[in-house]
Structure 1
Amino acid sequence: MAKPPPLISHQIPHTSRLHGAISILTMLASMSLGPLIPPLILLLYALSLAPAASSLLAFAVLLHCLAGHSPRWCRFYLRSAGWFTNGVHIHFEPSTIDAVAASPSMWCMHPHGTSVGFGFSLNGAVRLRAEAEALYLPPAFVGKVPVARLRRCNGVQAPMMFNVPLLRNALLGFGCATPATREGMRGLFEGGVDFGILPGGMEEVALYTKGRERVYLRRRAGFIKYGLQHGYLVVPGYTFGECDCYTSLQAGKGLRMWMLKHVGLIVPVFWGPKWWCPALPDPDVQLNTVVGQAFRLPVIKEPTKEDVDKWHKKYIESLVEHFDTHKERFGYGDRELEIV
C-alpha cells in the first residue's frame, strides 16, 4: 500500500479527568433521564399528586422554551476530552482543507458508536460552534475557511431526539443540530451550509460490537441522493477508537433492530470498564477522527436509482480506502472495515 498522506492535526485542549467525566455524564444524563420526564408527569397525575406533576410539567415547558445555541455549553461538552488519557484528535488531509475551503460540504462521519458518538460530537461541528476557533481548530483550517462560515455549520440528528426533554436542550445548545427529515436536509443543502451526518444512524448503534469496525451503509443511500440533487462536496470521516470505548450487550440484536424498524427507537445497553461508574467510556482509548479525501457529486436534480447506486458505491469504496489508508498509523492495522 502507498505511504499514507501527511495529516494536519489538532487535539482538544486537555482538561482534568474530573471535568471530562462530569461533561460526559451530563450529556448521558440528558439522554437517559429526559425520556423519563413525560411518563413521570403522567404517573404523578395518576397518583393524585397534581402539584408535583404540574411543577414538573412547568419545568419541562420552561426547558422547551429556553432551548437554544450556547457557546458556553459547547465548550463545557468539549471538556469531555479530558477523560481520555491520550486525548481526542482530529486530522485533515491537506487537500481536504483546500476542497472544503472552496465549497460547502457534507461531512459523513463513521462509526456512530454506542450512543453519543464521541467522534461525531467532539470532532464535529461542536468544535466550530464553540466560538473559540484558536482553541478547537488547527490554524491551517481556520486560515482558509472564513469564521463566519464556520459558525453557520450544522449537523443532523434523528428527529425523535428533538422530542425528548433535556436531550432537546442539549442538542439545540450545540447550535448545530437539525432533525434529519427531508425538510431539514433540504434546508441545509439549499442554504449552502456545511454540515455533518452519521449515515449509519441508530442501526449502527444496534449493531455495535466492541472491537469491530462496522458501519451500516449498504441500505443507507438517502444522503447520496440529496447530495446529488445539490451537487454537494462529500467528505468521509472515520474515528479510530470509537468502537473500543464501551462493551455492549450482544443478546437481543434482532429485537433491537425490530424495535428500530417498528417503534423508531432502541435502548442501547452498554458499559465502560470502571465498576464505580460504568457509564464512563474506557479512558485509555485514544480517539482519532481522520477527515479524508473529499469528492464532489454532480448536480442531478432528479437522480435515478442507477445514479444513486453508482455514487453510493463510489462513496463506500472511498470510505474503505480511507479506512485502509490510515488504520495502521493509529494502531488498527489488523482490523477490516465491515460494511453492513
Structure 2
Amino acid sequence: MTRSKFIGSAGAIGLFCLMIIPNVGILIATFLYPKVLGLYFLIPYYAYNLSIGKHEARDGNGWNWFSENFFVFNIVRGYLNLKIEADSELKEAEAKEGAQFVFAVSPHGTNADYRVFIDGMLHEALPQTASKIRTLAATVLFHIPLVREIALWTGCVDASRAVAVERLKEEGGSLLVIPGGQAEQMYTQYGRERVYLKRRKGFLKLCLKYEIPVVPAYVFGVSDYYFTSAKLFGLRMWLVQNLGIALPLCWGRYGLPICPRPVDTTLVFDKPLYLSCQNPSNPSEDEVDKAHLQFCQALEKLFDTHKERLGYGDRKLEII
C-alpha cells in the first residue's frame, strides 16, 4: 500500500472515530454518572438544540471554512480521488441570478461517505449556487453529538417536507437530495449499480409544485467502496421501514465497515430537467408519474453516457 493510501484510509477511520468514540464515552459516562452528565451536558445541549439552536429546521448552520479546508476532509478527498463535473448547460443556467435547483444525487451507497466531502467542493463546480444549496439529511443525525455538528457545518438541514418547502420558497434556495435514502443503503451491492427510485417521487412533486428544475446526478465509484452481504436482509429492511434504522452489512479496507476502499470517485451533474404540469399548485398523480419516468430516463442516459469513460463500461444501471 502506498503512503498516500495509508494516510487516506487513516483519515477516513479517524473521521469516523471522531464522531463515534466521544458518543460511546458519553453513553458510558451517562450510565456511571447520570446526574452529573445530565445536569452539565445533556440537558443544556439538547435544550439549546431543540429551541434556539434548531438550525436544521431552518436554514442550517453551514461553516464554509470547515467544509472546504478541514484537513481530514482534504486527506480523504485525495484518497478517493474525488472529483465533481457539471454539464455545460447546468453551468450556464446556474450563472443566472436567482437560479435554483433540486440536485438529485444517486446512489446513496452503503454509507454515503462522499456526501460530507463534496460540500466543500461544490463552490468550484457550481460557483453561483453552491452557497444556496442545502442537503436534506435524516432527522436522527441531528440528535447525535458531533455527528449533528458536522452535518450542520457541511450544509445539511432536516429531511422533512416542511423544511424542504421553506427552502424552495426562498429566492435562489436549492436542495441536494439523495432520493434512495436508507432503503438504497440496504440494496447497495458491491460491483452493481443499483438505485432505489421506483417508489421515490416526492422530490419530483416538489419540483412540479414550485416549478424548479431537477438536476440528475450520479456518483461513479461509490458502489464499490465496500463489499456487502445480504444476510438478514428482511430484518434490516424492517428496521428501516419501521424504525428508520439502517444497518448495512459491509466491509471495506482492512475489513472495516468504517473505511471505504480507495476507489476513484466522480460526481457528475447532468443538465437541468425542466418539468411541467397544468396546475403546479396541485400536480396530478399522472403528471408526477410522467415526471418520474422522465427523471429515470435522464439518469439512465447520464450513467450510460459517462460509464465507459469512468471505468464502468461493463455495468448497467438498475432502477429498483
Quote the residue 2:17 is aligned against. 29
Task: Check 1:165–1:220 CA distance in 2 against 1; reply closer, same or farther (3 A cut).
Answer: same
Percent identity of the aligned residues? 28
Quote the residue 1:3 is aligned against. none
Q: Give the Å deviation of 1:73.
A: 2.3
Please give the per-residue CA displacement for 1:161-212, whole angstroms capped at 9, x wherever unaligned: 11122210110111x1111101111011101312211000111111111111
2:66 partner letter: W
1:296 partnered with 2:265 = no
1:177 partnered with 2:162 = no
* Gaps in structure 2 of 5+ consecutive residues: 56-60
Q: TM-score, with normalisation over the residues of structure 1?
A: 0.79
Q: 1:121-270 residue pairs with structure 2 within 5 A?
A: 121-123=116-118, 125-128=119-122, 133=123, 137-138=124-125, 141-142=126-127, 145=128, 149-174=129-154, 176-191=155-170, 192-270=172-250
Quote the residue 2:109 is aligned against. 113
1:328 partner letter: E
Quote the residue 1:4 is aligned against. none
Q: What is the distance in 2 between the residues matched to 1:199 and 1:318?
A: 15
Deviates more, 1:187-196 or 1:74-83: 74-83
* Gaps in structure 1 of 5+ consecutive residues: 1-14
Quote the residue 1:319 is aligned against. 299
Task: Check 1:205–1:31 CA distance in 2 against 1; reply closer, same or farther (3 A cut).
Answer: farther
Q: What is the distance in 2 between the residues matched to 1:319 and 1:291?
A: 10
Q: 1:77-88 residue pairs with structure 2 within 5 A?
A: 77-84=73-80, 87-88=81-82
Q: Check the 8 A contact 1:25/1:280 in 2, yes or no.
A: yes
Q: Check the 8 A contact 1:63/1:166 in 2, yes or no.
A: no
User: Aligned-residue CA RMSD in angstroms?
Assistant: 2.8
Q: SS of 2:84's equivalent?
A: strand
Residue in structure 2 matching 1:89, options 58, 83, 89 = 83
Residue in structure 1 matching 2:63, options 67, 70, 73 = 70
Q: SS of 2:95's equivalent?
A: helix
Please give the per-residue CA displacement for 1:254-292, whole angstroms capped at 9, x wherever unaligned: 1111001111112223221325x6632112x11011111
1:279 partnered with 2:251 = no
Quote the residue 1:10 is aligned against. none
Quote the residue 1:331 is aligned against. 311
1:57 partnered with 2:42 = yes
1:100 partner letter: E
Quote the residue 1:44 is aligned against. 32
Q: Give the Å deviation of 1:29.
A: 3.0
Please give the per-residue CA displacement for 1:198-240, whole angstroms capped at 9, x wherever unaligned: 0001111111111110000000100001111101111111011
Q: What is the distance in 1 between the residues matched to 2:13 and 2:304?
A: 33
1:181 partner letter: S
Q: SS of 2:135's equivalent?
A: strand
Q: What is the distance in 2 between the residues matched to 1:181 and 1:81?
A: 29
Q: What is the distance in 2 between the residues matched to 1:55 and 1:246?
A: 39
Task: Check 1:314–1:34 CA distance in 2 against 1; reply closer, same or farther (3 A cut).
Answer: farther
Q: SS of 1:312's equivalent?
A: helix
Deviates more, 1:150-159 or 1:180-189: 150-159
Q: What is the distance in 2 between the residues matched to 1:270 and 1:232?
A: 37
Task: Check 1:37–1:107 CA distance in 2 against 1; reply closer, same or farther (3 A cut).
Answer: farther
Q: What is the distance in 2 between the residues matched to 1:182 and 1:35?
A: 29
Aligned length: 302
Q: What is the distance in 1 between the residues matched to 2:107 and 2:168?
A: 23
Runs (4+) off by over 6 Å? none
Q: What is the distance in 2 between the residues matched to 1:99 and 1:60?
A: 42
